[in-house]
A and B are shown apart, each in its own frame.
Chain A
Amino acid sequence: MQLPPPLETKFNELAGRYPIKRSALIPMMLYAQDQFGSLSDEILQEIATRLDLNMIQVEETLSYYSMLRRKPAGRNHIQVCTNISCMLRGGNELYKHVQKRLGIGNKEVSASGTFSLEEVECIGACTGAPAMQVNYDFYEDLDADKVDAIFEQLQDSKKPKPSAVTAGALHDRAPGEVPVISRLFGVPNSTKIDVYRKHEGYQALEKALKMTPDQIIDEVKKSNLRGRGGAGFPTGMKWSFVPKDTAKPKYILANADESEPGTCKDRPLMEMDPHQLIEGMVIAGRAVGSHQGYIYIRGEYRYILDIMDAAIAEAYANGYLGKNIQGSGFDFELVTHTGAGAYECGEESALMESLEGKRGYPRIRPPFPAVVGLYGCPTVINNAETLSTIPAILRKGGDWYASLGTPKNGGTRLYSISGHINRPGIYELPLGFPLRRMIEEVAGGMRGGKKLKAVIPGGTSCPLLSADEIDVAMDYDSVAKIGSMLGSGGTVIMDEDTCMVDVARRIMHFYAHESCGWCIPCREGTAWLQKMLDRFHEGGGREEDIPLIDELSKNMLGRTFCPLGDAAALPTISIVKKWRNEFEDHLHGKCAYNNAAELIAGAH
């Protein structure tokens, strides 16, 4: 098949980029889809031939990822988020408006081919909710008028200006904020290496190159840095598990597949400070003896690829990547890679499968990635935020970093605070910061002076907290003590007008959509609960459904292959437990809360 020359060049580059060719499968499909609008048998066969795959392997991977499509979309593919943060700020109404305005439904294409529409899961614009993407461009803080204006321009084949940076990332520093990793947010040209260097950039790497690997790991251990992806595993300890004497190559993997609903902190980190992540990864490579890194960015963040790639090119040009870094004799190569729409690929082993060009199924553990990871080799996989923290730790010392937080919970982290608050935004706060102050001071208090009802502390996978539970220090251990999790820093605030049945319904929709289908309890459990919560929310509930929702969630809990089942079960269990009265109200045709009544009438 004759390819357009730029695609041919891209394909050739991709085919040689990875230790196994198959890794190029998802990127190739994405580029081909960008070129042709959809994936035809012909182009898939071409890709299969180039990668020595057969068609079923291609089809398996293709059909797993929600962004890849066989049928053409419109020239402007409108993706409206209705997940929790957007829903709380009118995402459903916006989606309905878009449907009416475009005259098409979910996954339909307008007659002219100008538009196609898709209701999507969290796109990582939670602090700019409600938000949508047009192709790869983000439009945030939307309302019906703004959307109409965007569509008018698109109709005229003009490109409306996308949101400049992740909404909520730029603001005056809130009281209590400690900018460590976000210090370059808002600095002009912060993605440029010169600017980065002016702000002590790459000094940590230069220091690390003079340290022994063990000294680096000790410094990270001292910092009490814990994984920012959600699980909170001590980073220094993770690095120390990597075998020292192995003939196999080792890999450093940045998990930038940020998809936890309510979470959008890796996005601004890469968007505004890509060199910080690069520096962190090279240091990690130095610490464990790895010479190859990959940054796995979720497919929806496609525009970040250009930013990241440009920064990587600068780093190579300035001797911070490549052979013999800064004359130290240490080599480190780094490439970017994108997914194609799958929350499950944020799970570390599923991410590795995905990076190998396969369906994002998690792997059996043990063995753990530190021993058998990417391509069967020892791998350190850390969240992008975790790795972005490394330069500061090396620069100022582990003790300094640890002292910013609470015992065993070192440093600061980014919170994306969204929902019914006055100042949704991305804030860098020390670990142990009180949740109440986050809501009342940092994020400016409840919108419209309403009363607080519920808080998702760190992404929808966490059990929800009720208004009387917010006097908690936001660190891993304190939040765990009250039965929830610090999670990914995606803090979602809900006011008194929120229908908690609707929240449970929306959360379950997400997990059912994202369940990979590997294990029975998650695959069947999330789908069953989704259907039941839909019916219940629409007014078709039965008395026995309330304990059944609770029981089915518990039947998934702790029994699924990976944590996705728990992630679906935990918030649901907490909602049924803490807001059971709202379920009972629904049974009696009562739903005093805002959008629920409308949804019941409109039969979602």
Chain B
Amino acid sequence: MTDQKKIAFTIDGRAVTTSAGTLVIEAAKTQGIEVPSFCYYPGLSLQAACRMCLVEVEKMPKLQTACTLVATDGMVVKTSTEQVHKARKDMIEFLLSNHPLDCPVCDKGGECELQDMTFRYGLDKTRFAEEKLHTPEQKWSPLVYYDAPRCILCFRCVRVCDEGMDVKALGVGSRGVLSVILPNKPDELACEECGMCIDICPVGALTSGTYRYQTRPWEMTYVGNPCAHCSNGCKTTLSVRNNEILRANNRDHSGINGEFLCAKGRFGYDFTSNPERIRQPLVRRNGKLEPASWEDALEEVARRLKQAHATHGPAAIGVIGSNHTTNEENYLLNRFARVTLGTNNLDHHRTADYAGLAAALGVRARDSLATMADVYNAPAVLLIGNDVTQQNPLVAWQIRTGVRHHGLQLYAINNLPSKIHRQAKIAVEVAKGGEHQALRWLATEKGQFDAKTTEALVQLKAGLEAEKDVVVLFGADIQGAAIRDLVSLTARFGGKTKFMVLGDYANSRGAADMGILPDRLPGYAHLSDSAERARFGKLWGGEISAAPGLAARAMLEAAVSGKLKALYVVGANPLKTFGVAQPDRLAGLELLVVHDMFLTETAQRADVVLPAASTYEKDGSLTNTAGEVQLTHRSIDPQGPRSDFDLLRILSHQLSMLGIGTPIRLRTPEAAFDEIRQNVAGYDLSPATLLAGGSELATATSKAPEAAYDVPVGAIFSSQDYLFTSGTLGRYCSRLTSTNEAKQTPWVSSPNTQSWWQR
């Protein structure tokens, strides 16, 4: 938007030098000068509708809107004259003429921009002696309510829905003072239910069905946490009162997601208080899971693990980790499996091939992993597979915004139509599983495609090769050898190429980075690397075997065949995930221990269930799919359950007393994170940014590119969650599943409409 040329102008007597093309309202901000506005919203199209930002400009007879006025050389702007103050006061007076003056009972009271502006710039009395317009409040969906009299018609909601989300579910109806915001269906909203319209509303016109009229904003405390659901790592601010999360929203836009938040981040927090939550340990007695004390339950686990260890040896024990638990917990679990229990039968549900990219890039990973910001800033993006709109909503937002703001060029290869293709310069649709084939075609121009697809590939190739820097995004469709092919293909691109693997869940990458894999240590060193094995063995107080263990699916198969006798599951539901339909087939298993929040299919089959705290109830760090690490915080007390961190730590002590392994001395997640920072390749991150609520990019990498890297078929697959599902966790998010869209599986967003800025 702005070019490199500088211009100099004056604002309130201060000399300012700024890039040519800068808006006065933005230039004022850099000087700490507030120019109030309602309709101006950085990143959205300009409106000049609210007239709050009127400023005086020398040599211009009328007041000018600072939100549309481009600063030019020699311009003299005054934002604090009597005339300007009067104009602001008058605009507030006009706005309040039909606006209810019932701030004490308005849901927005205390965090309302109109209230704040009135306090700062408004009149202290009302001169409006006429009857105010009134219309009844409308319920647009279980999640979104609209109260027209409070609406100041800044059109932010309409724009964020259209320009930001490319959904266009909102419009403006009628005209003049009767103008209202319209939902796309007369009495309900058919959309992605992202709730961005609620966040962006400066007043109490759009309110959240999950939060409204429960509390006052000043009664709550606010905790910024990475979202518990998908792998994108958006920051969501949890609003907490009396140990209860009452709301999740995007309060300060300080996360990697900027102002973005989807339905899961905003409405999918109520699993924490779901009535089905397990709050007490359960132990199977006489075939039934019965409540037990923590002492009895942990004693039972330790005793029976010891028994299995002694009777069948470590190779008969398997450990399945989680996509949701923290890096520290995964790190501990790695140690617990390999050193305490002495088994390499360690895996998790791998939703994307992070290890494969690390193996293909080698040390190049250090500067070749794309962040969420990189996706937005990229001149070009190559997206292979994955319906990002549904599966990776922040990635989709970054792409859309990049297209809109600076003409990002999107090239897509996919086996499905996707809404993001509306932003694509070229989108090539291939048959299911055809993505890898398409990559090979791009590399060799050989392969079987019909004429139309071939033509599209020709164009895509020509387009890509003309781009400078490209960010390459791919999901589970590309794994193993295909990643190697992809990396070598990108060598032909003109500029710098960066990569992002798109996984499914909040700590999918963290689980891989922390080595919850049958053959890799934290930081992706292969078990055959004796130096790394020795290093971690020494750190963890034991020997690590060089022989790779069983992958998750193989563990379940071994459990069926009776080779695996004990299975320790942390925060996962493998019976569901890997499609083991009849749990009785695991009859050969002598011991199944499950840490979970809910009685999942796997937990129901367990011998001991240990109730676990959710990510919103514990401290630690999570790594998003890009590799960006953020801290999560204990926003509420879990009331019964314990963190997986504590459970593993305690259990290690108990097992050591029974003669198995050494106790874990890391008492806190902070201590564990320190150990990770010092010992896991790519995690040598500065804690300052993290502690301040920011993110740092971890670039875990296997040291040299591995030509032999491959993955067994079926080891890596996406759950293909969409906007309203979130694996097992999603089932316990009653608000998320309350909308009409959530009841359609999979929900398709298909308004066949070009976006505002394209029209």
Contacts and interface: CB of A to CB of B under 8 A. Distances in A.
Contacts of B54: 559
Contact of B168 (A57, A512, A542, A558): A57
Interface in A496-549: 512-521, 523-528, 531-532, 535, 542, 544-545, 548
Contacts of B52: 520
B182 A521 contact: no
B116 to A, nearest CB: 17
B178 A364 contact: no
B176 A528 contact: no
Interface centre among B52, B87, B93, B169 (most CB of A within 10 A): B93
A342 to B, nearest CB: 7
A555 interface: yes
A57 B753 contact: yes
Given A22-B759, A55-B184, A535-B130, A519 B97 contact: no
A203 B507 CA distance: 79
Contacts of B91: 520-521, 559
Interface residues of B, number: 49
B332 interface: no
A524 B753 contact: no
A84 B286 CA distance: 92
B205 to A, nearest CB: 14
A524 B179 CA distance: 11
Contacts of B182: 56, 59-60, 63
Contacts of A344: 175
B170 A527 contact: no
B509 interface: no
Contact of B169 (A56, A515, A542): A56
Interface string A43-67: 0000000001111110110011000
Contacts of B753: 52-54, 57
A188 to B, nearest CB: 43
Contacts of B68: 364
Contacts of A555: 90, 93-94
Nearest to B170: A56
A514 B179 CA distance: 12
Interface in B158-182: 168-179, 182
Contact of B48 (A52, A356, A364, A512): A364
B176 A514 contact: yes
B46 interface: yes
B175 A359 contact: yes
A409 B178 CA distance: 41
Nearest to A22: B759
Interface in B103-119: none
B495 interface: no
A561 interface: yes
Nearest to B45: A364
A517 B754 CA distance: 24
A35 to B, nearest CB: 23
Given A56-B184, A518-B49, A528 B173 contact: no
A560 interface: yes
Interface centre among A52, A60, A517, A525 (most CB of B within 10 A): A517
Contact of A520 (B61, B94, B171): B94
B128 interface: yes
Contacts of B169: 56
A525 B176 CA distance: 10
Contacts of A531: 130-131
A559 B174 contact: no
B292 interface: no
A527 B133 CA distance: 10
B98 interface: yes
B752 A519 contact: no
Interface centre among B62, B175, B759 (most CB of A within 10 A): B175
A520 B177 contact: no
Nearest to B99: A524
A532 B130 CA distance: 7
A55 B188 CA distance: 13
B175 A516 contact: yes
A519 B183 CA distance: 21
A512 B177 contact: yes
Given A64-B174, A364-B48, A520-B91, A56 B130 contact: no
Contacts of A560: 51
B172 A561 contact: no
B49 A54 contact: no
Contact of B177 (A524, A544, A545, A558): A524
B127 interface: yes
A295 to B, nearest CB: 23
Contacts of A544: 127
B95 interface: yes
A72 to B, nearest CB: 18
B752 A52 contact: yes
B152 A528 contact: no
A473 B171 CA distance: 48
A258 B178 CA distance: 24
Given A555-B90, A558-B62, A523 B172 contact: no
Interface string B128-161: 1111010000000000000000001100000000
Contacts of B131: 531
Contacts of B63: 558-559
Interface in B72-100: 87, 90-91, 93-95, 97-98
A302 B94 CA distance: 37
Interface centre among A513, A515, A524 (most CB of B within 10 A): A524
Interface in B169-224: 169-179, 182-185
B99 to A, nearest CB: 9
B173 to A, nearest CB: 4
B176 A520 contact: no
Interface in A10-24: 20, 22
A527 B176 contact: yes
Contacts of B49: 518-520, 561
B173 A523 contact: no
Contact of A561 (B48, B185, B759): B48
B176 A526 contact: yes
Interface in B582-625: none
Nearest to B753: A54
A384 to B, nearest CB: 24
Contacts of B48: 364, 519, 561
Contact of B175 (A54, A57, A64, A528): A64
A549 B564 CA distance: 87
B171 A56 contact: yes
A515 B175 CA distance: 7
Interface string A120-139: 00000000000000000000
A57 B52 CA distance: 28
B751 interface: yes
Contacts of A54: 168, 184, 751-753
A524 B405 CA distance: 33
A454 B677 CA distance: 85
A57 to B, nearest CB: 7
A57 B153 CA distance: 17
Given A54-B752, A521-B90, A525-B94, A515 B46 contact: no
Nearest to A534: B130
A60 B171 contact: yes
Contacts of A64: 174-175
Interface in A353-407: 356, 358-359, 364
B176 A515 contact: yes
Given A512-B177, A531-B131, 5 more contacts: A342-B175, A514-B176, A518-B47, A523-B176, A559-B54
List 8 A-B pairs, minimum CB-CB distance, nearest first. Answer: A517-B179, A527-B177, A524-B94, A531-B130, A555-B90, A60-B171, A56-B171, A515-B176
Interface of A: 20, 22, 52-57, 59-60, 63-64, 342, 344, 356, 358-359, 364, 512-521, 523-528, 531-532, 535, 542, 544-545, 548, 555, 558-561
8 contacts: A56-B170, A57-B168, A517-B172, A523-B176, A524-B98, A524-B177, A535-B130, A544-B127
